[in-house]
């Protein structure tokens, strides 16, 4: 028996990195998986990597577009008839690739980063949660970041969006708890994914790869599968008495 047998799980950001690792493990643990991303190529690659026999629905959608989210949820319900788990993993670090100080940041940058990371998380919860409330069960796992707990120069839009995700996690847990719908978040530390690839490429090119992850107590960066393991724990019945929490999965970065 897998922990997610008979469970239907929506995974946003499933076309890359942490979302892909989460979708693949969910499939291995018995779930039917709805793969969602704005990037179709990544989604196809994730679908190709899913274990044999897993039921998959693949959907290109922008989580910041409410009409797209509404259509995604309707199609999931039509296909599977239920939604047990929502994993909100889609996110962006910036639109320009740069991380300017607050005095130089643009309104466009702020609006886009907040739209995907924070509004996108809210919209999927808004449209998925009623189906969970109707069945009096469900679990939602959002993806914040250590950047939402502590920050550094230049990360203002991303950090604010992730701090917002942590707070939204708590408020949504309060809104949905009476209906037995749990809402939690993970706060990953540095992980090698599409989002951070330039940082890793630069460090390797300058023989500084050993410094990546050196700011955390385990003295290494994380693997997407390690974040996926924490997401599956919070999503599963193993975490049945946990709601409204933000779990740092960061090698101890925020411990010191």
Helices (H), the chain: 17-28, 40-49, 66-80, 107-114, 120-135, 156-176, 197-205, 224-235
Strand order in the sheet with 56-60: 56-60, 32-37, 8-12, 85-88, 138-143, 181-188, 246-249
Q: Does the annotation count 158 as an active-site position?
A: yes
From residue 73 to residue 112, what is the string marking binding to ligand NAD with x (rule CB under 6 A)? ----------------xxxx--------------------
Tell me if 155 contacts ligand NAD by CB under 6 A: no
Our CB check for ligand NAD shows the closer of 114 and 137 to be: 114
**Distance of alpha carbon 141 from its chain centroid, rounded?**
7
d(CA 136, CA 141) in angstroms, rounded, equals: 17
Tell me if 213 contacts ligand NAD by CB under 6 A: no
User: Could you tell me the smallest distance in angstroms from the CB atom of residue 88 to ligand NAD?
Assistant: 8
Query: 132 to 151, contacts with ligand NAD by CB under 6 A?
Result: 143, 145
Which candidate in 158, 202, 221, 241 is catalytic? 158
**Distance of alpha carbon 45 from its chain centroid, rounded?**
18
* Binding window for ligand NAD (CB under 6 A); candidates: 8-16, 101-109, 126-134, 169-177: 8-16
Contacts of 219 (CB under 8 A, 6+ apart): 213, 251
Query: 181 to 200, contacts with ligand NAD by CB under 6 A?
Result: 188, 190-191, 193-196
Tell me if 160 contacts ligand NAD by CB under 6 A: no
Tell me if 63 contacts ligand NAD by CB under 6 A: yes
Please identify every residue annotated as catalytic.
Answer: 158
């Amino acid at each position: 028996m897998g922990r997610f047998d008979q469970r239907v799980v929506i995974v946003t950001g499933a076309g890359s990195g942490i979302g892909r690792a989460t979708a693949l493990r969910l499939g291995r643990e018995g779930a039917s998986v709805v793969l969602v991303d704005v990037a179709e190529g990544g989604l196809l690659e994730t679908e190709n990597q899913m274990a044999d026999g897993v039921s998959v629905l693949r959907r290109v959608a922008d989580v910041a577009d409410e009409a797209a989210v509404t259509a995604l949820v309707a199609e999931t319900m039509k296909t599977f008839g239920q939604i047990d788990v929502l994993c909100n993993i889609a996110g962006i670090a910036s639109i320009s690739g740069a991380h300017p100080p607050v005095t130089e940041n643009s309104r466009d940058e702020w609006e886009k980063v907040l739209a995907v990371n924070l509004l996108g998380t809210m919209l999927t919860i808004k449209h998925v949660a009623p189906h969970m409330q109707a069945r009096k069960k469900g679990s939602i796992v959002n993806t914040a970041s250590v950047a939402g707990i502590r920050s550094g120069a230049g990360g203002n839009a991303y950090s604010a969006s992730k701090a917002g995700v942590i707070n939204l996690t708590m408020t949504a847990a309060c809104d949905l708890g009476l209906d037995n719908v749990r809402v939690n978040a993970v706060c990953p530390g540095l992980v090698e994914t599409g989002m951070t690839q330039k940082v890793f490429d630069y460090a390797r090119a300058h023989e500084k790869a050993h410094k990546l992850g050196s700011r955390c107590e385990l003295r290494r960066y994380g693997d997407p599968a390690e974040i996926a393991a924490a997401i599956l724990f919070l999503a599963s019945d193993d975490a049945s008495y946990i709601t409204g929490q933000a779990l740092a999965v960061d090698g101890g970065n925020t411990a010191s």
